[in-house]
Amino acid sequence: MTNPLTPEQEAALVAAIRQAELRTSGEIRVHLEDTCPTPEPLDRAAQVFAELGMHRTAQRNGVLFYLAWQSRQFAVIGDAGINSVVPDDFWETAKENVLQHFRAEKYVNGLEQGIRLVGEQLRRYFPYDAATDQNELDDSISFGDTPLRS
């Protein structure tokens, strides 16, 4: 897979993830691959979510941003803990917010904005607790068709 991000863009996304996670026990990951091997990107996002072991967080509050950049497919998916507390339309709203930026070819800005929105919801429902919080998932961006477990 060709990395579509410059080192600066990748660093900006990782910084956005770390910033969003500062005030929450929630976990955010970004996964990029060339093309989506399934008809629905949400199905592929669920596969990647499982392959990355994102369901193993203590509070089931992991969120994955999935982008197949060459085939222009995108999805955002949250685990059972976060999914059970956010408003019913939250994931669609978050996705549409990111896609607005994508349509203007501002891909990194779109992902940063989506990460911020998700971080706000995670902070609201899963606030940071200095006594118990630990970074349960790698903040780095994963790439390719077969992500490595973290």
**Local confidence band at 150 (pLDDT 50, 70, 90 cut-offs):** very low
The sign of the torsion formed by the CA atoms of 20, 22, 5, 145 equals negative
Q: Which two three-digit tokens encode residue 105?
A: 């070819």
* Distance from the Cα of residue 99 to its chain's centroid: 14
Is pLDDT at 33 greater than 80 in this prediction? yes
Read off the pTM.
Answer: 0.92
Sorted by where each begins, the domain ranges of the chain are 7-127
Give me the mean pLDDT over the 33-43 stretch. Answer: 94
Nearest to residue 83, comparing CAs of 115, 61, 56, 57? 61
- 27 and 61 in contact (C-beta within 8 Å)? yes
pLDDT of residue 148: 41
pLDDT of residue 3: 80
Q: What is the CATH number of domain 7-127?
A: 3.10.310.50
Give me the mean pLDDT over the 37-44 stretch. Answer: 95
Q: Which two three-digit tokens encode residue 3?
A: 């990395």
Nearest to residue 142, comparing CAs of 30, 45, 27, 15? 30
**Cβ count within 10 A of residue 36:** 23
The secondary structure element, H or E, covering residue 101 is helix 90-103
> Residue 123 in 3-state DSSP?
helix
Give me the mean pLDDT over the 18-40 stretch. Answer: 93
Q: In whole angstroms, what is the distance from residue 124 CA to residue 24 CA?
A: 8
